[in-house]
Amino acid sequence: MVPNLFEGGQILSQLQCSGMVSVLDLMQQGFPSRTQFAELYAMYKSYLPKELARLDPRLFCKALFKALNLHDTDFKFGLTKVFFRPGKFAEFDVIMKSDPKNLAVLISKVKQWLLWTRWKKAQWCVLSVIKLRNKILYRRQCLVDIQRHVRMHLVYKRYAPRIRGLVKVKALHEQVASMEKIVGQMKFNKEQVYKQVQQLRQRIDQLINEITNTSVNSTHIDNAYNDLVSSIDREFRRLKQVLAEQEIKEEEERLKKIQMELEREKKKKLAEEQRLEQEKEEFRQRSAIAQRQKEEEQFKGKLTAEETKRQKERQAKESDEEAHLAEVNERERRDYDLARRLALETGGEADLPHLQRRRRPTVNQKHDLSKHTYAQLRDLINTSCDLELLEACREEFHRRLKVYHAWKSKNRKGKNPSALDDKMDEAEERAPNDILNNVVPPSMASSTSTSSGSMKKAGQLLTTTNSKKNSSGKGAEQRYFRIPFIRPNDQNRNTHGEQKKKGWWYAHFDDKWIARQMEIHPNKEAVLLVAGVDDMNMCELSLDETGLTSKKGAEILESDFEQEWLKHGGREYLNAHFGQISSKYVVQLLQNYR
């Protein structure tokens, strides 16, 4: 160290290390100077007037500091001492020991501050008294409130359980009202369920009356309320379940109705489409029938006189041949009778040869069925698969029917030509007289069949529609006819002015021969005939021989015939004679009926 040589940095460092900075901060922030109120009062008492000298030391110090305009931050009062900032006490001492003029000003300021302080204290006392009065009144009101709340608590403690019970029980009426609405929506057992709901409402009213008029405890109220709630909930769940089941059932019925309505609409639409299709098909079939008849008429109109003459010559030749055969047979019969008489006279009848009649040679020489019995013909028809043989059997069968009916008619007229019995007429009337009396000769029938063959292309449409798709007779054409029919006993009836009643004769031809026949007369039961069962009573003529194809409006559709056939019990009739039916198409049709 060198005298009179100072190093500032080191000195500051030493002062910081020795704590001088902290001491200075403490002196700056603290109140290092202090003195008691009495000492300060005794020190400056001689400088003050008497009115100020009588003051309390603490009040004296306070008035003195206020008069000197010392800030509150420059000093602090303790219980017995006053504390000053550094240097403030010395400043105070200088002021107090200044000249008398300043001291007089200071004394006047002290007096003024004392007056102001005392006035403030008086105001504060008045305000304190007012506050005290208000506090007393407030406490009195609080006492009243406490008493009121205590009384209310006692009453609430007594009646609150009953009030809460009444509120809860009365709220159950809403659930009962909801249950009544549900009952109103029910459709089954409505009255019984409504009685049960009313019983619950009565129980609620009884509990309300009991709580209102009697003193009951909360436990009893809670038990009764819980019992009611459980009963209402149980009944409410049951009603909801019943209503849900009812809604499900109604929904199922609604869906079922919608489904049925959709099916009905679908069926209606399908039926309408079928009807339109059927109308189109019928129109097509009728057009085909009209076209066929038109072509047949055109074909007949094209027959020349030469063809007619050739047919007449052929018929004359055939009649001459038949007459010649009849003459030869008659001559042979006479020779046979003469030889028989001579043999009787000579006694040699046993050696006499049998008479053999000559017949006209048949056209179809391939199958000669003239010597077959009816049983053999039937067996051939039922068992044979040869189409030509079957056709020959049918022709032979119908030829014999023609011969039989001609012989029967001839003998009956010979016995009683003038009067005919109604029953005999009815039994013998196999077809309308318009057909039987205008039979087309075989030669004309063959030419007509030839014309039909030439128009086969025009009739294919009708054949395919009239024939079933699964029919056994794939090549057989099915045709249907209807013509007016009046029986002989109806023609001769004129009793009491009764008008003639016209019936209808229906015929179903399987290829050339009739398969089904039906007669419908007013006020009479329909007559149904089937080939194989009623051959003796049916028309024995072929389709070409009847001439029905040339009659305008006679041919009808299959649907028209089947409608009348089924309407008059045709299905039952076929079922009753199933094993005797000869037409394979009719047998297949019966299977389709089933």
Distance CA 154, CA 184 (A): 47
- Residue 45, SS3 per DSSP: helix
* pLDDT for residue 474: 45
pLDDT of the residue at 460: 46
**pLDDT of res. 408:** 73
Strands ordered across the beta sheet of 81-84:
33-36, 81-84, 75-77
pLDDT score recorded for residue 501: 61
Q: 187-211 burial, b for 16+ CB within 10 Å, e for fewer? A: eeeeeebeeebeebbebbeebbebb
What pLDDT score was predicted for residue 366? Answer: 59
Phi, psi at 352, each rounded to 5°: -75, 125
On whether the CB atoms of residues 204 and 228 are closer than 8 A, the answer is yes
Per-residue pLDDT for the chain (594 aa), expressed as one digit of tens each? 567 777 777 788 887 788 777 777 766 666 767 777 777 777 767 766 777 767 777 877 777 777 776 777 777 777 888 777 776 666 666 666 656 666 677 777 778 888 888 899 999 999 999 999 999 999 999 999 999 999 999 998 888 888 988 999 999 888 888 888 888 888 778 888 888 889 989 999 999 999 888 888 888 889 999 999 999 899 888 888 888 888 888 889 999 999 999 999 999 999 999 889 888 888 888 888 878 777 777 776 676 666 777 777 877 888 888 888 888 878 877 777 777 777 777 765 545 555 555 555 544 445 666 667 767 766 777 777 777 777 777 777 777 777 777 777 777 665 555 444 444 444 456 677 667 666 665 555 555 454 444 444 444 444 444 444 444 444 578 889 988 877 555 544 544 444 456 788 999 998 888 889 999 888 888 889 998 888 888 888 888 788 887 787 888 888 888 988 998 888 888 888 888 888 888 888 888 876
Question: Residue 498: helix, strand or coil by DSSP?
Answer: coil
3-state secondary structure 408-457: HHHHHHHHCCCCCCHHHHHHHCCCCHHHHCCCCCHHHHHHHHHHHHHCHH
Asked whether 356 and 329 are in contact (CB, 8 A), the reply is: no
Chain-centroid distance, C-alpha 38: 115
Lookup: tokens for 344 = 């009787």
As a three-state string, the secondary structure of 517-542 is EEEECCCCCCEEEECCCCHHHCCCCC
This prediction has a pTM of 0.44
Show the CA angle centred on residue 550, arms to residues 548 and 555, nearest 5°.
Answer: 55
